[in-house]
Amino acid sequence: MQKALVRKVVDGAEADTLLVLQHPHTYTIGRRGRRDDVLLSDEKLARLDVSIYDVDRGGEATYHGPGQLVAYPIVNIRPFGGPVKFVRTLEQVMIGTLADYGIGASAKEGCTGVWAGEDKIGAIGLKVSRGVASHGLSLNVNPDLGYYRHVIPCGSPDITVTSMEKLLGQPIDMDAVAYTLQYHFGRLLKLKMVEVEPKVTLVGVPLG
């Protein structure tokens, strides 16, 4: 779906699009990652019903799953100052979203993503082709953080992760967080956000 949208945005046949979704339990390995970053054999992955995919985004290995909000901007980033500035903007989108829930978060010098204290709560991995971004960000809302025990996140065994649920002590409404994130995305990129149904079948976990 992303690849089809990238082609359409490159050709001017589709407007900039933000996909907002959850994935089933999945480990993805980016261009700089290795299979060894996922600490489970194929047999154990099958028993846990977890998929593993090599993907063409930047970065190393990470986890996606229910309770984690994923946003894939299929956006021509040339007007926004290029890839580095766009990544910094996506960090601010997550920081603004978390601030609306009373969570203080920040970016770290020399790192990509968003931290709440010493724990990572939001990750970013992009691909840019012909000026159009795909892949994007993931924000831990209510995921089962136990799945991070089986992966070396972003190539660093020292990274610890957290979630909005863990910090606030209660589950958080996913639809409300998705709406808040979309608001900050449009605000920071000065884009008018219009909700539409996907034109291609999207395989994943519904937000609700």
Spatial CA neighbour of 114 closest among 129, 131, 95: 95
Beta strands 51-54 and 26-29: pairing type? parallel
> 3-class DSSP state for residue 34?
coil
- Is residue 194 packed enough to be buried (19+ CB in 10 Å), middle (13-18) or exposed (0-12)? exposed
- Residue entry with tokens 């209510």: 142
Give me the amino acid identity at 91.
Answer: E
Collect all residues with Cβ–Cβ distance below 8 Å to 101 and sequence separation of at least 6: 164, 168, 172, 177, 180
Cα 82 from Cα 13, distance rounded (Å): 21
For residues 76 and 132, is the Cβ–Cβ distance under 8 A? yes
Check if 154 is active-site.
Answer: yes
Query: Which one of the listed residues 1, 105, 116, 154 is annotated catalytic?
Result: 154
Q: Which residues belong to the active site? A: 154
